[in-house]
Structure 1
Amino acid sequence: MTLSQLDYIVAVDTYRHFATAAEACHVTQPTLSMQIQKLEDELGILVFDRSKQPVVPTETGQAILAQARDVLRAAQRIPEIVSESKDDFRGDFRIGIIPTLAPYLLPYFIGEFIAKYPAVSVQIQELVTEQVIERLRNGLIDVGLVVTPLAENGITEIPLFREPFVVYAAELNPLLTKSTIAPTDLQTDGLWLLTEGHCFRNQVMNLCGADRQANGTNALRYETGSLETLIKLIDKQGGFTLLPYLATLDMDTTRQARLRPFDMPQPVREVSLVMHRSFLKRRLINTFRSEILAHLPNELAGKEKEGQLVRLS
């Protein structure tokens, strides 16, 4: 049994396709298939059920793959320890971030982070939370920026800050007659939401009522993963939505006038770094965390515990 063989079976499990796995491992498909076959012969079991498409691991194969991932992470940790002892930050750093955070949080710190660590190749993917968790488990990303708590087995969460919700409403919406909003004020028509799969949608539904109908009007149903699209639809079609605080900071004065804060204690979402329990690049991730916290807007800095946390479901 070799580390290369373990790498090959993990790649097949990740991509569920032998040709794609071979390409990811930079070997030919016959080489990958032969080495996996040799491993299976040595172990006396089948790791994969090849009769199904896409290929899936057998029951015993699932346990072997979980152990293989742990072994590979442990092996990768050795050169990392040496690099960290020299304060030598280099290599790929793969980040997954949810769409309701990416355009509003990244600009505050990512430029300085890249400038400070030029030998690190930063790769950022916008993903919904479920995809972040899956890719962490498969070793396809190093760290995620998501909303927590998740309560996912094998996933470590490091809270960064709590971000308040605010209400954004169309110009003549009755909600704008109030200086602050109570959750009970939201029991009215005209709520616009993100599509299913976005954790922000779940939090809004928990505040506004899980049985609410959305989006918008009886004549229009529109699914989007973009907060900016919701804002523009509300400007033209009426209604209201909830926004995370960071999404409001670059608004012009006209849109700022259509925002309303919540009564105290304000509902908030908890933004965290998430990693696999046996995560690699530990010092780099800690440095990444420090950069984020150092560049937060003053209104959010130090707010790790304030506000009434809105659960994901």
Structure 2
Amino acid sequence: MTLAQLRYAVAVDTHRHFGRAAAACFVSQPTLSAALKKLEDELGAVLFDRSRQPVVPTAAGERVVARARGVLREADALARDAGDRLTEPEGKLRVGVIPTLASCLLPLVAGPFAARFPRARLTLIELTTDAILDHLVTERIDAALVATDENQPGLRSELLFSEPFVAYIGSGHPLAAHDEIDPARLSPTDVWLLSEGHCFRDQVLHLCGTAPDEGGRAVRFESGSLETLRRMADRAGGVTLLTELSTLYLTGDEAARVRPLTAPVPRREVRLLTVRAHLKEGLIDAFAATVREAVAEALT
């Protein structure tokens, strides 16, 4: 059994295709296939179901790939530690970000991170929470920013910051006369929601204390964009909920439509998810510190 064979197995699990896995490993497909067949013979188990497209691991293959990822992380860490340690983080860092954070947080972070760590290469990918979890397990991303406390084996969750929810009131709405809004007064028939699959939607429904009413509004529209929901509240009336970070870019009449919520003010916790014992811990720590500093400055 060799590290190369383990890397090939992990690559096939990640790409679910022998040709793409071989390309990612910079070898020919016959070379990769032969190495995996030799590994299977040595282990006495078939690791991948080659009759299916995309290729999927067998039950034994899932266990082997999970162990292989851990072995490869340790091997890479050993190679890193054997060399000269850099005082400045460098390398590629791939970070998944949920959509309701991407548009408001990333403009605050991308510039300062690039300026502070010029030897790092940061790739930011907008993904739903479910997609983020899949990408982390298959190591297509190195870290992620989410707004739920995920408790899954092999993942580490670290609180980065929390931010308050606020209300955005449409023109002519009765609540526009209030200086602050009691969440108990919000009705799902009156609140524009994100579409299913967004954790922000579930958090808003929890604040309203109920499920969406399918028949209470003549037009029922759900979006994947907070900006679109604001536009619906502006033009069609009603209310939507935002987070404080998402209001930083509002000006004029739009900013005047924002109302704080009554105490105790509900807040959203933003967490950093990583795979335990990650090779890129230095880069990840640098990114986390940049996020904390940028948010602290923006919300003061």
203-212 or 262-271, which deviates more: 203-212
How do residues 1-313 of structure 1 correspond to structure 2 at under 5 angstroms? 1-82=1-82, 85-187=85-187, 189-213=189-213, 217-218=217-218, 220-298=219-297, 300=299
Letter of the structure 1 residue corresponding to residue 112 of structure 2:
E
1:179–1:261 CA distance, 2 compared to 1 (3 A): same
* SS of alignment partner, residue 266 of structure 1: coil
Q: Give the whole-Å Cα distance in 1 for the aligned partners of 2:233 and 2:82.
A: 54
Letter of the structure 2 residue corresponding to residue 295 of structure 1:
A
Q: Give the Å deviation of 1:197.
A: 1.2
Q: Give the Å deviation of 1:229.
A: 1.1
CA contact (8 A) 2:167 2:259 kept: yes
Match of 1:308 in 2: none
Q: Give the Å deviation of 1:214.
A: 6.2
CA contact (8 A) 2:188 2:210 kept: no
1:294–1:216 CA distance, 2 compared to 1 (3 A): farther
Letter of the structure 2 residue corresponding to residue 276 of structure 1:
V
Q: What fraction of aligned residue pairs are identical, expressed as a percent? A: 45
1:82–1:131 CA distance, 2 compared to 1 (3 A): farther
* SS of alignment partner, residue 118 of structure 1: coil
* SS of alignment partner, residue 148 of structure 1: coil
CA contact (8 A) 2:163 2:267 kept: yes
Per-residue Cα deviation, 1:138-194 (whole angstroms, up to 9, x for no partner)? 111111111131222221111111110011121111121222112210126221111
Letter of the structure 2 residue corresponding to residue 132 of structure 1:
I
CA contact (8 A) 2:165 2:266 kept: yes
* SS of alignment partner, residue 125 of structure 1: strand
1:58–1:172 CA distance, 2 compared to 1 (3 A): same
150-159 or 182-191, which deviates more: 182-191
Q: Give the whole-Å Cα distance in 2 for the aligned partners of 1:287 and 1:108.
A: 15
Q: Runs of 5+ in structure 1 lacking a partner?
A: 302-313
Q: Give the Å deviation of 1:216.
A: 8.8
Q: Give the Å deviation of 1:84.
A: 7.5
Match of 1:309 in 2: none
Q: Give the Å deviation of 1:299.
A: 6.5
CA contact (8 A) 2:188 2:212 kept: no
Q: Give the whole-Å Cα distance in 1 for the aligned partners of 2:192 and 2:142.
A: 33
Q: Give the Å deviation of 1:53.
A: 2.5
* SS of alignment partner, residue 86 of structure 1: coil
CA contact (8 A) 1:155 1:276 kept: yes
1:70–1:215 CA distance, 2 compared to 1 (3 A): farther
CA contact (8 A) 2:143 2:272 kept: yes
Q: Give the whole-Å Cα distance in 1 for the aligned partners of 2:222 and 2:11.
A: 34
* SS of alignment partner, residue 85 of structure 1: coil
Q: Give the whole-Å Cα distance in 1 for the aligned partners of 2:87 and 2:20.
A: 35
Letter of the structure 1 residue corresponding to residue 90 of structure 2:
R
1:31–1:299 CA distance, 2 compared to 1 (3 A): closer
Q: Give the whole-Å Cα distance in 2 for the aligned partners of 1:37 and 1:180.
A: 66
* SS of alignment partner, residue 270 of structure 1: strand
* SS of alignment partner, residue 180 of structure 2: coil
CA contact (8 A) 1:190 1:214 kept: no
79-88 or 36-45, which deviates more: 79-88
Letter of the structure 1 residue corresponding to residue 26 of structure 2:
H
Q: Give the whole-Å Cα distance in 1 for the aligned partners of 2:215 and 2:198.
A: 15
Number of aligned positions between the proteins: 300
43-52 or 209-218, which deviates more: 209-218
CA contact (8 A) 1:193 1:214 kept: no
* SS of alignment partner, residue 165 of structure 1: strand
1:215–1:134 CA distance, 2 compared to 1 (3 A): farther
Per-residue Cα deviation, 1:234-273 (whole angstroms, up to 9, x for no partner)? 2111111110110111111201221111111100010111
1:85–1:52 CA distance, 2 compared to 1 (3 A): same
1:188–1:19 CA distance, 2 compared to 1 (3 A): closer
Per-residue Cα deviation, 1:68-98 (whole angstroms, up to 9, x for no partner)? 1101111121233356733142221111111
TM-score (norm 2): 0.93
